[in-house]
Structure 1
């Protein structure tokens, strides 16, 4: 079963809408929930859920047998996020963090699931039966510890628990009032197990469990966005994407997946399938960056749900089980925090790591993308160009004053509402690294020579007054381990092309240079973006993958000068100078690679579009095509510094392209007059500002006029 419509149709059999409702005279139970109903002293919450008909799993997890045995339940089961039922628990159970196998609801509270009607064969009109509500029983609340541990590790271990952290877990429309980050993580990785009467099915359903997932694998999510607000419109909607990254907790592989999928509030709890209609896991609340509201979708894998409770505890009394569970959780967290704080120059993967199991076409390209850190709190991505340790990245990482908020980061005047955001990540709270680790990881980049001989290309090097840049280190992600190398700056372009070159101070034995593709990509070409967006060095994870297509190619309508063997020649045909893709790009991915389906690099990630209010637009981003980087790749092969001179030449046309401004050939006087009044790119900026303002006004009206729904 490889057709997406076939997988979607199959997935509908296992997706339900979960509704919890109960008395709430003060309207307190709706907090932290994006969509809810509150009327006549009662609140209704909702989420998606996974329906598990009896017998659909060939190997039912021990936790389900244990729960069904306690409650003497012989019907079907539903798995859903615990957050949808927790507000209606009695006070005795509401604040407990241990596993609960007999949780109690407050009086008059109830839980129901909406099950989509099944088609009865091939009817004449093809219509499905009407969805029906089924009452269910809350049987257990279970902490998926391995996923919680992985999420803590992703945020940097103990440093991620500080109140000033830049991350939250939850949808942007649902502010987490009073929750600590630890509390949000526990809530996002806790599930509820519900019991319902057996669903009448025409045929017995069986679902296989997906094997270990790989970056770039297709994912299909089935859920009900906006929940209870309008199930007739949104019940069991589909969204698809790919595995962006995989996180493990100790020896548990892929306990949490980062997914490049566009999801909406209400879809949490929905089942996630792979391209073969095998169950991957359950979608949970996203990881969200406070400053940009950028969201990373998270998937709790089925293998950690299935092993959330050990076989050896089933015969023990419940109080013993809970005590052992608490010790297990605390032990796992201590192990995690020790690992998170022991970063060394070489960090090998545990046995059975998923990194070698990448989609084959991406495996080599993934090893070619490095993590570049400047100082203690700034990072971006870089690309390995050759076996001698030459690294390509963006100039704005090293010279932010040239592309900072007075230039490229905010290309238009402050009165406009749109700009280009260079994708460097500046952590709000810089990492605290001990002095000995600084000496190991961030040795000074000094000296005036490189692997290519004495540097004589002074015009492109950092000026003497700017040589006090912060310490630079590069993390290389090999197939089997990660290791850090100090690096020195050897070239920074003074022209409009935002590129810089670093040289590793110590070249490892095995480097994996990128394979470039210089032909101009076609519009609509499927692409992958590989980089270290959003999550920095403390997370310890490998580069993430997002997918999309080439949405537009900007070409210069006049010749582009290229230096060849010391002689400046003119390329007669127009050359692509900017790529736009629909793949998600976040701060930190700057300097990463845009690759095609064969793993060949077609562009260098450089910037995002950004609203004037500060929110980036991940799916509108800009990259430098390899054709415009030809001097860089020739220098990498031939080591002739003169080849880089052309990149330092002023080029008004290229400058206007990267400023999102009209080309200089258009009526210079009138354009100048307009720019004096409006700022560069003002028409485009004002258009987006108007749209953005309209959305803000609509959001305000919704919040003021419809507080019970949005």
Structure 2
């Protein structure tokens, strides 16, 4: 069965757009709303109203675009020439399962541009194009594809690979991007967030997870999105097992539940992330806290996360737990560190994080873990991103992991789940307009804190913690807090 990444070009009133798609047996192409989104600016509200009133979106789109050709660009060989075929809109469908399971998640998001909040509601619109003169049976091909998809669930940390038409340009056809599963959300774990770097035009491209299946297992539905008007480079991927089943059996409840969990290649890492990190709130502000001593309930985070007059509360599976601030530095003149203690014991699923024993250098693989972007009412677990150490200073470790607001106080981890550093900030340029660089982040090495923390854990004498404020922090003066 031939399934490949293609570029879908569309010309409408002399304007053109390009996006990715998945071609099946040279007969049909599955793509997303992004292919026609540039021509829906005046029609977004109409399509959304059709969806809300259960009116057929397909009829509206066929009337608008049905007689106009789409052009499918593809390569028969990796380094071969680009060929092109004409195709026409055949059918479309809106994935209600994907939409309903993520309403809370995307409440503060917009897609395509910062001011297009409504377009998030079209992320679940899939378009089927039929290639001119093809005689393949789309229903049978999709059924065969669906039957070969794995009955195993995605896991955090799994490596993903995407072949796309970057920027919607045929010169970038078969652009390869790799990343990991950063988080999984929605009903039946139907949406995957990945730190995979993708560009506009990648929507509709196939995503592979070689540890699960040789066929594409996901389709990109958003590559450029905004959260609270800040550009977020999380790629959003729909699980194709859910999308294809919903297409094949419209109206039926999704039966792909309780997928078996397969062993993850990063078991120790994921175990540390899930059992030692907490989302912590101070009023409406949130960050991340790391459990460094389970029996005594001692956590570490950033001082700028606990500033304020509100209780500091961590969220656990047993419910919220208030924490007392044992010691906090002045984050403007000292290392940005706070030590907290829980008022109640933590449950058996949690455990102290291990400090890394590995001597790491520039280029070594690391992971950032914390609670960026997603609020507590979404019931998200920690999010992880992959990168490398880009620079080491006695008081700062820089990495290329993607770090976003809410990750403050989170962890930089080695491949075994050992704590390497505490996340503090990424770098921002303030003029002429504030711009943040998520893959250029600053972190406090745990090695300079470890002797102080170990003495405090043993004695619970706060005098030991005061030594944190004596560490030289001049290198930190130019960096913004998350």
TM-score under structure 2 normalisation? 0.84
Report the equivalent of 1:240.
178
SS at match of 1:307: helix
Cα separation, partners in 2 of 1:353 and 1:169, compared to 1, 3 Å: farther
Report the equivalent of 1:220.
161
Report the equivalent of 2:465.
644
8 Å contact kept, 2:164–2:174: yes
Structure 1 CA distance, aligned partners of 2:335 and 2:311? 24
Cα separation, partners in 2 of 1:219 and 1:351, compared to 1, 3 Å: closer
Is residue 2:234 matched to residue 1:289?
no
Structure 2 CA distance, aligned partners of 1:383 and 1:88? 47
Q: Residue deviations 1:566-597, cap 9 Å, x none?
A: xxxxxxxxxxx210100001111011111101
Structure 1 CA distance, aligned partners of 2:66 and 2:268? 56
Report the equivalent of 2:340.
502
C-alpha displacement of 1:358? 8.5
8 Å contact kept, 1:608–1:616: yes
SS at match of 1:151: coil
Cα separation, partners in 2 of 1:299 and 1:115, compared to 1, 3 Å: same
8 Å contact kept, 1:530–1:546: yes
Cα separation, partners in 2 of 1:190 and 1:107, compared to 1, 3 Å: closer
Report the equivalent of 1:589.
407
Structure 2 CA distance, aligned partners of 1:138 and 1:507? 59
Q: Residue deviations 1:288-345, cap 9 Å, x none?
A: 124322232100110121122463x6xxxxxxxxxx69xx99xxxxxxxxxxxxxxxx
8 Å contact kept, 1:217–1:242: yes
1:187 pairs with 76, 97, 122, which one?
Answer: 122
2:313 pairs with 454, 460, 473, which one?
Answer: 473
8 Å contact kept, 2:22–2:29: yes
8 Å contact kept, 2:362–2:390: yes
Report the equivalent of 1:492.
328
8 Å contact kept, 1:99–1:141: no
Q: Residue deviations 1:194-236, cap 9 Å, x none?
A: 1225599xxx9x9753531111111111111221xx41x2112
Structure 1 CA distance, aligned partners of 2:259 and 2:422? 32
1:532 pairs with 346, 371, 388, which one?
Answer: 371
Report the equivalent of 1:109.
68
Q: Residue deviations 1:1-50, cap 9 Å, x none?
A: xxxxxxxxx99x51011112233xxxxxxxxxxxxxxxxxx121221001
SS at match of 1:138: strand
C-alpha displacement of 1:82? 2.6
Structure 1 CA distance, aligned partners of 2:456 and 2:9? 62
Report the equivalent of 1:371.
279
RMSD: 3.3
SS at match of 2:102: helix
**Which residues of 2 match residues 614-625 of structure 1 at below 5 A?**
614-625=434-445
Question: Which structure 2 segments of 5+ residues have no match?
Answer: none
8 Å contact kept, 2:153–2:262: no
Structure 2 CA distance, aligned partners of 1:602 and 1:621? 14
Is residue 2:244 matched to residue 1:306?
yes
Cα separation, partners in 2 of 1:364 and 1:175, compared to 1, 3 Å: closer
Cα separation, partners in 2 of 1:525 and 1:482, compared to 1, 3 Å: farther
Cα separation, partners in 2 of 1:305 and 1:492, compared to 1, 3 Å: same
Q: Residue deviations 1:41-95, cap 9 Å, x none?
A: x121221001111xxxxxxxxxxxxxxxxxxxxx72211013423677999x973
1:44 pairs with 3, 16, 24, which one?
Answer: 16
Report the equivalent of 2:217.
280
Cα separation, partners in 2 of 1:499 and 1:107, compared to 1, 3 Å: closer
Structure 2 CA distance, aligned partners of 1:109 and 1:275? 37
Report the equivalent of 1:632.
453
**Which residues of 2 match residues 548-627 of structure 1 at below 5 A?**
548-555=387-394, 577-612=395-430, 613-627=433-447
**Which residues of 2 match residues 427-442 of structure 1 at below 5 A?**
none
SS at match of 2:356: coil
Report the equivalent of 1:17.
7
Report the equivalent of 1:344.
none
SS at match of 2:182: strand
Which one has the bigger strand percentage?
2
Report the equivalent of 1:255.
190
**Which residues of 2 match residues 199-210 of structure 1 at below 5 A?**
208-210=148-150
Report the equivalent of 1:150.
101
Structure 1 CA distance, aligned partners of 2:454 and 2:259? 36
Cα separation, partners in 2 of 1:133 and 1:598, compared to 1, 3 Å: same
SS at match of 1:215: coil
Report the equivalent of 2:353.
514
Structure 2 CA distance, aligned partners of 1:641 and 1:105? 70
Structure 1 CA distance, aligned partners of 2:280 and 2:378? 14
Report the equivalent of 1:667.
none
C-alpha displacement of 1:99? 5.1
8 Å contact kept, 1:215–1:244: yes
Structure 2 CA distance, aligned partners of 1:220 and 1:238? 7
C-alpha displacement of 1:614? 2.1
C-alpha displacement of 1:640? 3.1
TM-score under structure 1 normalisation? 0.58
SS at match of 2:180: strand
Cα separation, partners in 2 of 1:505 and 1:358, compared to 1, 3 Å: farther
Question: Which structure 1 segments of 5+ residues have no match?
Answer: 1-9, 24-41, 54-74, 120-126, 314-323, 330-349, 400-467, 556-576, 661-680, 686-710
C-alpha displacement of 1:100? 5.0
C-alpha displacement of 1:503? 1.2
Which one has the bigger helix percentage?
1
Structure 1 CA distance, aligned partners of 2:37 and 2:231? 26
Structure 2 CA distance, aligned partners of 1:226 and 1:87? 14
Report the equivalent of 1:385.
292
8 Å contact kept, 1:288–1:296: no
SS at match of 1:242: strand
